[in-house]
Structure 1
């Protein structure tokens, strides 16, 4: 695949993503960590949603079902460690910039990925990475210049006769890095306590609705960015102006109407506007008819 690099300074340059998802998860007893569900979604799918803007997303692991299509790669031999895995993923990438992520980041969002890419672009550094709550570097939540990674991979391979078992810090030690502090997005799930913490936070009132909507879209295979506030306002108007059961039925009909026109978010918004206007007229009609006869 040939990629075209957008000029520096545009803020919208193309990038690829490499997600490392083949670790042994020893502190979790060898469980399939990328498949562990947080808020109804697999950890891997949560990370893939955060890097959905990538031109190519390479997942270094054995193939599995994912919420969106990816390119699969595997380090040789399997289990050779993160440096070997990153090398395998980078071989399937052609973009000048690559976002490198682990598959166990429950709170990673697209906005974080954009911040990393913006930091890489504006700083002129070879890499932009997050730091955690203790200020420690997180090289698997980072954006890098691909040429710099390839240079260091070649150096390490020559010095050690291969990449098997090398720690990631040796790869990034000679890179010019800029750092972004984000204790939330850098939170990873290494232990069952970490997973319990992530699940608890996602159930908090301020997060649960967005998490639920994202989980439903993943489960149903829907890639549609709609204004949920519009739908919630519609449900409120239908419940108050007509009857409580009208809320879910009305929002269902709005979605069905938009689907029949093969429309996107705009079609949903237009159908919701029409239904909301009808709900308000319905309520006004009931109010008028309920008024006593002035005569």
Structure 2
């Protein structure tokens, strides 16, 4: 491994807890499959909405205390730990065991690396549901009601128990399907046809690329992609910036909106960066835009606009 610093109830139908802070957890992301149905392409690196599938999943589980990606190391949007099953390519159960060895939390989120619509809200909901109930795992079910064991939160002690039993029964974990592991667990289930959507074929990829602009979170997706591309790890109140852009566009001129938000970002960077610096720069710029609008509305705008003089006379009048 290479390290970089970096169900409510136990039965089916358990829903994620809401209104509470998510419990602590570690994450294991399985990203080392052969992608045979993609012709052997590098599936975790395939881009949807401008971001690699793996980076989208890593963003969704950014709240993890530790994140282990089971695959060969590659550049990622945030620091992670890397692990590999031995030998590589021996299946999801062996890969999960390899990743689990590098976790310490009692709750572990287990994810595949090909989930374009997974969000932090889904991950936090799974962890909260696991923490609130007596189940040993809470997993998502897809549109057809099928279990998705790689979109789930588990109790690490239960996973280790079942992995030990499988190792003893089969003299190893190579080639075992995940149902052999999850079949021994008490599971809760959360229906979520969006979060469970995965990309196994090029048709799936094409569908995801089309849907990314239709599922109601285009702006959030774009902001996340832009931050990844620019190497920014900064959470800001986008509503404040959008309000500023609106004020600048309406109160000054339409091109003032993008230029003003650029200047806010530049000023915040010079002030040391961080959400507070962005908020303060945005506040000052918004106040200026409102003053500008008020002056224009009251007729006290700077003279010379549209060729008029101070009292509305032509500028070249005597």
Query: Which TM-score bucket, shorter chain as reference?
Result: over 0.9
Q: 1 or 2, which has the higher helix percentage?
A: 1
Deviating more after overlay: 223-232 vs 36-45: 223-232
Return the offset for 1:283.
1.7
TM-score normalised according to structure 2 size: 0.86
Q: How does 1:85-164 map to 2 (within 5 A)?
A: 85-164=95-174
Return the offset for 1:26.
0.7
Report the Cα distance in structure 2 between the residues aligned to 1:54 and 1:209, rounded to whole angstroms.
24
1:17 maps to 27
Q: Partner of 2:33: helix, strand, or coil? A: coil
What per-residue deviation string (whole Å, max 9, x for no partner) do you get for residues 256-293 of structure 1?
11112224222212211211110111122123336996
Aligned 8 A contact 2:145 2:191 in 1? yes
**How many residue pairs align between the two structures?**
287
Report the Cα distance in structure 2 between the residues aligned to 1:206 and 1:249, rounded to whole angstroms.
26
2:270 maps to 260
TM-score normalised according to structure 1 size: 0.93
- The answer to whether 1:238 aligns with 2:244 is no
Aligned 8 A contact 1:231 1:251 in 2? yes
2:76 maps to 66
Q: Flag structure 2 segments of 5+ consecutive residues without an equivalent.
A: 4-16, 302-309, 313-318
Q: Pick 1 or 2: higher relative contact order, CA cutoff 8 A, min separation 6.
A: 2
2:222 maps to 212
Q: Partner of 1:206: helix, strand, or coil? A: coil
Q: Partner of 1:128: helix, strand, or coil? A: strand
Return the offset for 1:233.
1.4
Q: Which of 180, 186, 195 is residue 176 of structure 1 equivalent to? A: 186
Report the Cα distance in structure 1 between the residues aligned to 2:166 and 2:35, rounded to whole angstroms.
25
Aligned 8 A contact 2:67 2:80 in 1? yes
Report the Cα distance in structure 2 between the residues aligned to 1:157 and 1:193, rounded to whole angstroms.
37
Q: Partner of 2:172: helix, strand, or coil? A: coil
RMSD (Å), alpha carbons: 1.9
Return the offset for 1:208.
2.1
Deviating more after overlay: 152-161 vs 262-271: 262-271
Deviating more after overlay: 204-213 vs 285-294: 285-294
Deviating more after overlay: 199-208 vs 14-23: 199-208
Aligned 8 A contact 2:22 2:125 in 1? no
1:191 maps to 201
Q: Flag structure 1 segments of 5+ consecutive residues without an equivalent.
A: 2-8
